[in-house]
Every structure is written in structure tokens, then in C-alpha cells.
């Protein structure tokens, strides 16, 4: 069977650079499994076990994504691989499924190590491994990261772990203390390699790579390929297959992305207003925890919405019934957590609401990808608190689109939305006669009798029927209960004006540095809440300069300018590039 047959048809553009496959024991092990027949459909045909195929089917996964189709064959054969693809393309499953299948039973030390740039991503990847390994109850997966109990991680490692997912710093801690034994490691995955570069972890990654067994499989995934990542792959990967997935821009543009800034106490009220003004077709509301799904669902149910919940406590058979109800239209709103909503594919989802801001860009892209399917358009609304607004840029980079600001809908917008939906329902009712002709005749007879008894016109009868359908609650919101929205908008305008005044001051031409000083630019600013003292303390601590020798500091919104003595040694300059202030790299450059 050819490699092209193994990869299958791919709807996106896939650039594949594959070099000659070398002989290895791993390759021989899987040859008979893969060569048998042409892939039937979906995930079958890649050499996966029946247990894994059943797990994927139970979780609702039917067809692999382009990067999965391209990566599965090479990873099943034990090859090194470099994959370039944007977040939200299914990269985790692309490496997790083949590596799980290649695990050997009876080994107590870790066989797979995955490095991730953040604790949130490490937790997410570990959860994915656990979900895919449901058919192998004895397989153990452990996430290790800073901020969690070190002793419990040591205990788990001593008991035996098959897959370790961790951040570079915590993995290094365990390796240095001898609590993470990498002697039996078969595969290493560098997930979001460019993000690890951006966060200053590449030196740590190289240290880890230098401690691993000579014979191992290395898999590198990255959204972009800067020169440092390309150098890393050439140095540590052996004859790797290279995969590049280019997604079609128009796919993402079908989804209109907007954000609402709202204080935490008003989030539930704002959510109801968005649903009243903009809701129509199916809606999925993503929350961070199971407890929040219940709170949101109960509030919306009390307001008259048809709501269902999907979280980790919902059993599989009930989950399937819930999805069918959503698909059929008997449920309009689904409140879900990320894990519970994976694999959810319902065409009628017209809106996704991120009630809680997701931890990372990939989770955000996965969430909003539940709408705008089958060539349709969709809307994505992101709720952010004032303190979370600075993270929106990360989500825009992940989705490749701007996220437009949106105001909390006022009463006028809500009332118009309600009238529009009522108009639509009436039009549909006139065009869809009742299925039972006898019932229709009885209803018409009832209307005629009431009209005759009470001497009512057809318009009066129609109004009475409409009022009965609407119910006793008012259709329109009364003015005055949305004052908090206007107060919130006024505070935002005041903040914006203060920021504009600050920027105008900063935009004034500044005097040049003194003769013995050189001006540098660093990539931290007001958005990071940096103060001059933060910069002075960090630079002085790294260079050994006395604070009084650091010259003028000018802080702008996205960057700052710092005057330092001329003749800075190159090694000191390089150290400053990766120095972190307010959890962001300085990335110092000479100012022009």
C-alpha cells in the first residue's frame, strides 16, 4: 500500500515532504497491520486497535482531520515528524492516538513525554490522552506542572506512569531529582514549539532533549516555523517527515467573532440579554466548570428557555440523547464544558457563547468551531471581565481574525429581537398546516363559534390567540432596568479617554538619549501593567548595573523605551532578550 493511500483524501491543502523510510524494528512491527487493505473510512485503516476504534466511535469521532490523516502513518511507523498547523486542527489527536498504540505493556517507566508551554495546555493534553485511552484502563497518564503538589507527582511516578505531559520547568525539576526516569522513553512530543520559544523555554527544551535516550522518536508541532524552531528540528530530529496544513481562510470568516466586557456580577444578566437580542437557532454556551454549567442552565430555564447540560457527570447514553434533542430542535441551548462538548457536530448551531474565557487559543478555536458548519455562517460571543481584556489579542492570533467589541444589548435591541422572532414564528405557522386535518377543522370550528358567541372580529380573535401563545409575562422589556449597562459603558469611555490622553502624551517627540547612553525598545508596556520600577529592578538584577545608571524610561501601551549605557556586552544583551518582566519577555532591540 502506498503512503498516499494511507493518508487518504484531504479537503485542505497539505504539503508533505517525506524522505526514504529507514529499516527499524518498529517499522517491521507495524508493516503487516498497515498493509492489509485500503482504509475503509474514518479512523479504520491506520492500524489502530479495535479498543481504540471503539473508544473513538463512543466519543463521536467519525473522520480524522487533515493533519491527523497525514501524521498517523508516519507516527505509527515510529518516524520523527515536524508538523506545522494552526491551533484547532486536531493536533493533539494527531500525535496522541499513534503514540498510545505504540506503547508496550509491562514497562513501569514512562514511554511517552509531551512538553507543553503552559499548565493549562498540559492539563488539556493529559485529559485527551486519558480520554483516548478509555479502552485501556491500566494505562496511566500524569500531568506535571508548577503550582501543583510535587510530592503527589513523585508518588505517581514511583507507582508507574506510561505517559507524562508537563511544562519544561517542572519536567526538568523531576529529571534533576531523579524522580522522572527517561531511560525507557520511546517518544517525545514538543507541542506548540513556537509558543515555548516565545515564552523563553527553548533552552530548557534543549536541556531535556540532551538527557534523553539516543534512540527515540521526536515529534514537533508548531503553528509557525521561526528559524530557531527550524534549527531545533534539524539538530534533534532524524530524517523527519514534514507536514504543513494550510487551512482555508474563508472557513474562519464564516464565523463573526465579538466580545462583551462585563463585570462578573452582571454576567448572567448580560448572557440573558444576548440570548434575547441575538439568539435564534441552536446555541452552545461554554463554561469553565461543571458547577457553572448548572448555575447558568438553572437561570436560563427559569427564564423560559429550553436548556440542556453537558458536563463530565453526564453519562454517555444521556449525552447522546441530549445531542439528538439539540439536533432535532427540542432543545435550543446547550450549556457545556470543553471536555464534554468534544466531537460535538450539530449543523443548526448558530451561536457559540464563551461565558468563561478559555485558557488558551486552541480551546477557543475548538469552541467557536462548533458553529459555522456545513457552509453556514455563525456567531461567536466572548464574555470578558475588565481584567481579562488584555488576553483577547492571544485569541485573535489563534483564530486569525479580529474579535469585534460589542455592547451588552439594551432594552431596545432585546424588544426588537423578540418581535422579530415572533414575526418569524407566525409566518412559519401560516405556511405549515397541522399534520392532522381533522384537528385543523376542529380548531377552525372553535374559532368561528367563539367569534359568533362574543361577536368578535377575526383581528380580535387573532390577537387573543397570540396573547395566549405569548403567555402572561410581558413580551417587551420596560425602560429603566438597563441603567447598569449605560453606567458600565460610561466607565469604559472614561478609561478609554484616560488612555487616549496618556497615548497623546507619549506620542510627543521625546528628547534624544544622552551621549553616553543608547536607547533600547522592550516589548512590555501599559497593557502589561508594567511600572518603571519593574524595569529598573529586572534590568539591574540581570546586568549588575546600579539603578542610577539606567537612564530615561518611557512606557507606551505595547512597548517601552529604556536608555542604557553604551557598549553593552553581547552576552548581557542576549540575556536581556529572554528576561521576563510582568510574565512577558523583554525581547530587547535597539530603538530606531
Helix axes 392-399, 361-368, angle to 10 degrees: 60
Question: What's the 3-state SS for 93-153?
Answer: HHHHHHHHHCCCCCCCCCCEEEECCCHHHHHHHHHHHHHHCCCCCCCCEEEECCCCCHHHH
Residue 151, exposed/middle/buried by CB under 10 A (0-12, 13-18, 19+)? exposed
Residue with cell 507606551: 556
Q: What is the DSSP string of 504-553?
A: HHHHSPPPPPPTTEEEEEES--GGGT--HHHHHHHHHHHH---GGGS--E
Contacts of residue 519, Cβ cutoff 8 Å, sequence gap at least 6: 512, 513, 561, 562, 563, 590, 591
Contacts of residue 484, Cβ cutoff 8 Å, sequence gap at least 6: 266, 269
Q: How many CB atoms lie within 10 A of CB 567?
A: 7
Stated as kind and residue range, the H or E segment containing 246 is strand 241-246
Residue 217, exposed/middle/buried by CB under 10 A (0-12, 13-18, 19+)? buried
- Give the 3-state secondary structure of residue 204: helix
d(CA 151, CA 167): 17
**Partners of 187 in the beta sheet?**
112, 217
Q: Residue 36 gets which letter from DSSP? A: S
Model confidence pLDDT, tens digit, residues 337-362 = 876 665 566 778 889 999 998 866 76
CATH fold of 250-406, please? Rossmann fold (3.40.50)
Contacts 24+ apart (CB under 8 A), 150-156: 153/179, 154/179
Length of the chain: 592
| Distance between first and last Cα of the chain | 58
Which value, to the nearest 10 degrees, does the dihedral of the CA atoms of residues 106, 112, 33, 3 take? -170
Q: Could you tell me which CATH number the domain at 509-590 has? A: 3.30.70.330
208 in Cβ contact with 115 (< 8 Å): yes
Q: Which three cell numbers stand for residue 301?
A: 430555564
498 in Cβ contact with 529 (< 8 Å): no
Q: Which three cell numbers stand for residue 196?
A: 515555548
pTM of structure:
0.47
Could you tell me if residue 151 is left (phi over 0), alpha (psi between -120 and 50 degrees) or otherwise beta?
A: alpha
Longest dimension (CA), the chain: 101
Contacts of residue 569, Cβ cutoff 8 Å, sequence gap at least 6: none
Q: What are phi and psi of 248, to 5 degrees?
A: -80, 130
Q: Which three cell numbers stand for residue 483?
A: 441603567
Q: What are phi and psi of 117, to 5 degrees?
A: -75, -25
Domain boundaries, the chain: 3-247, 250-406, 416-470, 509-590
558 in Cβ contact with 393 (< 8 Å): no
Which value, to the nearest 10 degrees, does the dihedral of the CA atoms of residues 532, 537, 543, 545 take? 80
- Give the 3-state secondary structure of residue 57: helix
Helix axes 437-454, 458-470, angle to 10 degrees: 120
Q: Which three cell numbers stand for residue 177?
A: 531529582
Spatial CA neighbour of 281 closest among 163, 189, 148, 376: 376
Q: What CATH class does 3-247 carry?
A: alpha beta
Four-residue CA torsion sign, 208, 84, 199, 256 = negative
| 250-406 matches 509-590 in fold | no
Contacts 24+ apart (CB under 8 A), 419-423: 419/475, 419/476, 421/280, 422/470, 422/475
Q: How many CB atoms lie within 10 A of CB 33?
A: 13
d(CA 4, CA 473): 62
- Give the 3-state secondary structure of residue 176: helix
Residue-wise burial string across 528-540, b where 16 or more C-beta atoms lie within 10 A, e elsewhere: bebeeebbbebbe
263 in Cβ contact with 488 (< 8 Å): yes
Instruction: Specify the pLDDT at position 21.
Output: 31
- Give the 3-state secondary structure of residue 174: helix
pLDDT by position in tens, the chain (length 592): 333 333 333 333 344 333 333 333 333 333 223 333 333 448 888 889 888 998 888 877 888 888 899 999 999 999 999 998 766 678 889 999 999 999 988 888 999 999 998 777 888 899 889 989 888 878 899 999 887 788 999 999 999 999 999 999 999 999 999 999 999 999 999 998 887 876 778 889 999 999 999 899 999 998 778 788 888 999 999 999 999 886 554 444 578 899 999 888 889 989 988 988 887 778 999 998 888 999 999 999 988 888 999 887 888 678 778 888 888 888 899 999 876 665 566 778 889 999 998 866 767 877 887 887 656 788 999 999 888 888 888 888 778 788 999 888 887 777 787 787 778 778 877 777 777 778 878 888 888 888 888 888 888 888 888 888 777 777 776 665 566 565 655 555 445 444 444 444 444 446 788 888 888 888 888 877 788 888 888 887 777 777 777 888 888 877 889 888 888 777 777 778 778 887 777 888 888 6
d(CA 308, CA 335): 6
Q: Which three cell numbers stand for residue 246?
A: 494550510
Amino acid at each position: 500500500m502506498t503512503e498516499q493511500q494511507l493518508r487518504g483524501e484531504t479537503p485542505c491543502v497539505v504539503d508533505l515532504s517525506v524522505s526514504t523510510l529507514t529499516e527499524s524494528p518498529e517499522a517491521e512491527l507495524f508493516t503487516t497491520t498497515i498493509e492489509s487493505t485500503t482504509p475503509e473510512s474514518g479512523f479504520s485503516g491506520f492500524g489502530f486497535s479495535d479498543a481504540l476504534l471503539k473508544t473513538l466511535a463512543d466519543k463521536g469521532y467519525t473522520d480524522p482531520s487533515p493533519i491527523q490523516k497525514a501524521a498517523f502513518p508516519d507516527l505509527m511507523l515510529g518516524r520523527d515528524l515536524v508538523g506545522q498547523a494552526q491551533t484547532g486542527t486536531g493536533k493533539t489527536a494527531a500525535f496522541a492516538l499513534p503514540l498510545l498504540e505504540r506503547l508496550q505493556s509491562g514497562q513501569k517507566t514512562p514511554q511517552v513525554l509531551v512538553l507543553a508551554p503552559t499548565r493549562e495546555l498540559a492539563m488539556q493534553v493529559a485529559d485527551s490522552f486519558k480520554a483516548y485511552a478509555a479502552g485501556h484502563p491500566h494505562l496511566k497518564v500524569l500531568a506535571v506542572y508548577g503550582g501543583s503538589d510535587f510530592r503527589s507527582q513523585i508518588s505517581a511516578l514511583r507507582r508507574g506512569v506510561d505517559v507524562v505531559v508537563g511544562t519544561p520547568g517542572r519536567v526538568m525539576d523531576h529529571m534533576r531529582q531523579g524522580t522522572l526516569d527517561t531511560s525507557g522513553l520511546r517518544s517525545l512530543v514538543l507541542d506548540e514549539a513556537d509558543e515555548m520559544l516565545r515564552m523563553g523555554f527553548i533552552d530548557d527544551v534543549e536541556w531535556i532533549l540532551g538527557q534523553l535516550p539516543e534512540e527515540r522518536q521526536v515529534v514537533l508541532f508548531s503553528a509557525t516555523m521561526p528559524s530557531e524552531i527550524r534549527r531545533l528540528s534539524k539538530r534533534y530530529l532524524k530524517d523527519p517527515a514534514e507536514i504543513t496544513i494550510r487551512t482555508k481562510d474563508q472557513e474562519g470568516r464564516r464565523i463573526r467573532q465579538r466580545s462583551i466586557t462585563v463585570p462578573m456580577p452582571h454576567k448572567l444578566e448580560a448572557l440573558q440579554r444576548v440570548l434575547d437580542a441575538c439568539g435564534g437557532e441552536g446555541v452552545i454556551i461554554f463554561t469553565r466548570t461543571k458547577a457553572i454549567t448548572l448555575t447558568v442552565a438553572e437561570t436560563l430555564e427559569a427564564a423560559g428557555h429550553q436548556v440542556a447540560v453537558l458536563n463530565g457527570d453526564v453519562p454517555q447514553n444521556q449525552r447522546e440523547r441530549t445531542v439528538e434533542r439539540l439536533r432535532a430542535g427540542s432543545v435550543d441551548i446547550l450549556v457545556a464544558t470543553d471536555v464534554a462538548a468534544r466531537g460535538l457536530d450539530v449543523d443548526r448551531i448558530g451561536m457559540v457563547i464563551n461565558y468563561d474565557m478559555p485558557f488558551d487559543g486552541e480551546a477557543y478555536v475548538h469552541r467557536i468551531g462548533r458553529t459555522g458548519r456545513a457552509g453556514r455562517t455563525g456567531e461567536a460571543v466572548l464574555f470578558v471581565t475588565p481584567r481579562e481584556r488584555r488576553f483577547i489579542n492571544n485569541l485573535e492570533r489563534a483564530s486569525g481574525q479580529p474579535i469585534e467589541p460589542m455592547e451588552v444589548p439594551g432594552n431596545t435591541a432585546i424588544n426588537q429581537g423578540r418581535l422579530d422572532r415572533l414575526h418569524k414564528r407566525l409566518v412559519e405557522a401560516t405556511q405549515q398546516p397541522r399534520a392532522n386535518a381533522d384537528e385543523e377543522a376542529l380548531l377552525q370550528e372553535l374559532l368561528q363559534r367563539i367569534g359568533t358567541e362574543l361577536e368578535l372580529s377575526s383581528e380580535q380573535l387573532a390577537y387573543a390567540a397570540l396573547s395566549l401563545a405569548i403567555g402572561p409575562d410581558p413580551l417587551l422589556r420596560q425602560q429603566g432596568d438597563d441603567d447598569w449597562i449605560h453606567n458600565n459603558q460610561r466607565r469604559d469611555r472614561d478609561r478609554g479617554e484616560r488612555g487616549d490622553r496618556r497615548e497623546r502624551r507619549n506620542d510627543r517627540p521625546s528628547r534624544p538619549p544622552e551621549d553616553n547612553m543608547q536607547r533600547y525598545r522592550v516589548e512590555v508596556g501599559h497593557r502589561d501593567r508594567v511600572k518603571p520600577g519593574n524595569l529598573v529592578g529586572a534590568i539591574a538584577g540581570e546586568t549588575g548595573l546600579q539603578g542610577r545608571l539606567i537612564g530615561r524610561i518611557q512606557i507606551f501601551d505595547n512597548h517601552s523605551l529604556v536608555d542604557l549605557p553604551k557598549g553593552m556586552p553581547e552576552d548581557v544583551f542576549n540575556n536581556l532578550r529572554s528576561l521576563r518582566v510582568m510574565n512577558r519577555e523583554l525581547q530587547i532591540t535597539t530603538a530606531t
